[in-house]
Amino acid sequence: MQILRPDNLKEEPLILGIESSCDETAAAVIRGRRLLSDEIASSANIQALYGGVVPEIASRAHTDAVDLVVDRALKTAGVKKEQLDAVAVTYGAGLLGALLVGLSFAKGLAYGLHIPFIGVNHIRGHLSAAYLEDETLRPPFMTLLASGGHTAVIYTKSFSEFEVLGGTLDDAAGEAFDKVARVLGLPYPGGPHIEALAREGKPVVHMPKMLKGEGGYNFSYSGLKTAVINYCHTMEQRGEAWSKADVAASFQSAALDILVQKTVEGALEKGVTTVTAGGGVVANGYLREKLTEACMAHGLKLVLPVKKHCTDNAAMIAAEGLIRYEAGDFSPLSLNAAASIPLR
């Protein structure tokens, strides 16, 4: 199918971003790198009752919310849809039914307005959140990506070239937080609850090493998760008093210290001077503090997206839409949703 391209690329295009890959329906408008609106509706409260995301509930919630959220994003931005220069939307990775709601809506809008359509890789969106934080940010830089589905240290060579240095060999960091939260009897999503509980505890419970191989970038969360489960069971069986807060603090520091260490190592190895981060786990206050300290200690500039732009949002999709617009890299309207896609 033919790809619609504008005759002239604008300096500061007005881009609508839409995100619906999981349980958040979000829409945002940017002009260049300036954020004009940033709206979100979530079915997380309902999903929490089930202890995780139920795909069918997510799809229905997106269908109910998508036009309202987009409408609100345009109104808050003070923009009429006819003024938009492009529509960017997540087409993967994520839940197929959920993705299709945002994708179909965005295609219809772009087709109706006769403007370019940009299908965005959700992970690339997380990487691009940092561009909104610092208007001067340009590759190369080292990025820590830590979400519910991915955890990796990524060398961003240019706006469209990436090298994954390494990352988790099993669970993603967010997934590990969610699983450990369940063991500790905390609600879904577990990350923020573990963070809150950890503030009341001390990292005194022994946790296993996570690194796989010497000096590499790969690590594993499965041993850490098993260690938490075994510790809780053993203490219960012995009838000994134990502190959930200490377990939360011990797990949190073990799970996150490795990310800080590997990200800084990556930056030093590649000789870049800037570090960025993205993904839901980067909303964690402990991680933000440790990464800030480590970057400062090594003379690295750190560009951290605000917490709202770490967890799923549409501003990051609009930001990645801008990068693609500037490269003239548009998508055909035949683009389908994809449950999983590589970085490139």
What residues line the site for ligand KG4 (CB under 6 A)? 22, 147-149, 174-175, 177-178, 189-192, 195, 279-281, 283-284, 311-312
- 105-164: contacts with Zn ion (CB under 5 A): 147
Stretch that binds Zn ion, among 187-195, 232-240, 253-261, 306-314 (CB under 5 A): 306-314
Least distance in Å: CB of 1 to Zn ion?
28
CA 280 – CA 339 distance, rounded (Å) = 19
Binding at 178: pick from Zn ion, ligand KG4, none (beta carbon under 5-8 Å per type)? ligand KG4
Binding at 321: pick from Zn ion, ligand KG4, none (beta carbon under 5-8 Å per type)? none
Least distance in Å: CB of 190 to ligand KG4?
5
Binding at 195: pick from ligand KG4, Zn ion, none (beta carbon under 5-8 Å per type)? ligand KG4
Give the up-direction half-sphere exposure of residue 63: CA atoms within 13 A in the CB hemisphere.
8
Binding at 177: pick from ligand KG4, Zn ion, none (beta carbon under 5-8 Å per type)? ligand KG4
Output the CA–CA distances (angstroms, integers) from residue 157 to 75, 130, 228, 267, 297, in the order listed: 37, 15, 38, 12, 23
Which segments of the chain does DSSP mark as H helices, in order? Answer: 44-50, 55-77, 96-113, 122-133, 173-183, 190-198, 222-238, 244-270, 285-297, 315-326
CA 279 – CA 318 distance, rounded (Å) = 16
Binding at 318: pick from Zn ion, ligand KG4, none (beta carbon under 5-8 Å per type)? none
Least distance in Å: CB of 278 to ligand KG4?
8
Identify the CA nearest to 18 among candidates 131, 105, 112, 126. 105
Least distance in Å: CB of 100 to ligand KG4?
17
Element of type H or E holding 87: strand 86-92
What is the β-pairing status of strands 151-158 and 161-167? antiparallel
What residues does 158 pair with on adjacent strands? 161
Considering only residues 171, 175, 312, 320, which one is a binding residue for Zn ion as defined by CB under 5 A?
312
CB-wise, 79 or 164, nearer to Zn ion? Answer: 164
Stretch that binds Zn ion, among 198-206, 235-243, 249-257, 309-317 (CB under 5 A): 309-317
What residues does 134 pair with on adjacent strands? none
Binding at 281: pick from ligand KG4, Zn ion, none (beta carbon under 5-8 Å per type)? ligand KG4
CB-wise, 195 or 312, nearer to Zn ion? Answer: 312
Binding at 166: pick from Zn ion, ligand KG4, none (beta carbon under 5-8 Å per type)? none
CB-wise, 36 or 127, nearer to ligand KG4? Answer: 127
Q: CB within 8 A of 221, min separation 6: which ones?
A: 151, 168, 170, 171, 172, 173, 175, 176, 210, 255
Least distance in Å: CB of 42 to Zn ion?
13
Q: Which tokens go with 271?
A: 């000789």
CB-wise, 115 or 318, nearer to ligand KG4? Answer: 318
- Count Cβ atoms below 10 Å from residue 208 Cβ, excluding itself: 11
Least distance in Å: CB of 36 to Zn ion?
22
Least distance in Å: CB of 149 to Zn ion?
7
Least distance in Å: CB of 248 to ligand KG4?
11
Q: Which tokens go with 14?
A: 């007005």
Give the up-direction half-sphere exposure of residue 309: CA atoms within 13 A in the CB hemisphere.
27
**Residues at the interface with Zn ion (CB under 5 A):** 147, 312
